[in-house]
Structure 1
Amino acid sequence: MLVAFSVTPLGGESDGVGEAVAEAVRVVRDSGLPCETNAMFTLVEGEWDEVMAVIKRATEVVQRHAPRVSLVIKADVRPGHTGQLRAKRERVERYLEDGV
């Protein structure tokens, strides 16, 4: 499965969220699962249970920073397919190169 998620602290003493988000991203990267982070989401790929466990740990890390947390998850559940983190983007890039 391929999951895009965003976890953000709400409330608390700081207007900035960068430190808490960085700690969540560290959890994902330390998991060893294929992942990438952009300005809005972190994408992670793996089996259901391992991906959800990583998202849970990332959320718990952010909860240490604020009394409330926003968690957004979008998943592409496609059994039998791996490597989609890169493959999906590569397919789109090929279409763009072909002038589609």
Structure 2
Amino acid sequence: MIVAFSVSPSGGAPAGDEPDSVHTAVAAAVKVVRDSGLPNRTSSMFTEIEGDWDEVMAVVKAATEAVAPFGRRVSLVLKADIRPGHTGELDGKVERLERAIDRL
């Protein structure tokens, strides 16, 4: 499965951070994802991670917990593509899209 998720704190900023910035909290979450060893990529709004259900959800939970100290609440947005028996789709889907664009 591939999960695209975004996690951020609200209700307070850590000392020294700009009130409107969540980059330190997001960095903590992304570090958890990268340290997991699962295929992943981060864009300006979402982090995508690929693996089986239990391992992906464990990483999402740990990333969410890493953000918790940065605010009184945590917001999690999650979208999942559950496709049993398929791997390598984090890149495969994009490669197929690029080939389709090239044919246009």
RMSD across aligned C-alpha pairs, in angstroms? 0.6
Matched, 1:27 2:32: yes
Alignment match, 1:98 = 103
Q: Which residue of 1 aligns with 2:12?
A: 12
Aligned length: 99
Segments of 5+ residues of structure 2 without an aligned counterpart are 14-18
After the TM superposition, which segments of 4 or more aligned residues of structure 1 sit over 3 Å from their partners? none
The AA in structure 1 aligned to 2:26 is: V
Unpaired runs of 5+ residues, structure 1, are none
Q: Which of 39, 43, 47 does residue 48 from structure 2 map onto? A: 43
Fraction of identical pairs, as percent: 63
Q: TM-score, normalised by structure 2?
A: 0.93
What TM-score, normalized to structure 1? 0.97
Partner of 2:37: helix, strand, or coil?
A: coil
The answer for the alignment partner of 2:78 in structure 1 is: 73
Describe the superposition over 1:2-41 as per-residue Cα deviations: whole angstroms up to 9, x where unpaired. 0000001111133210000001000000000000000110
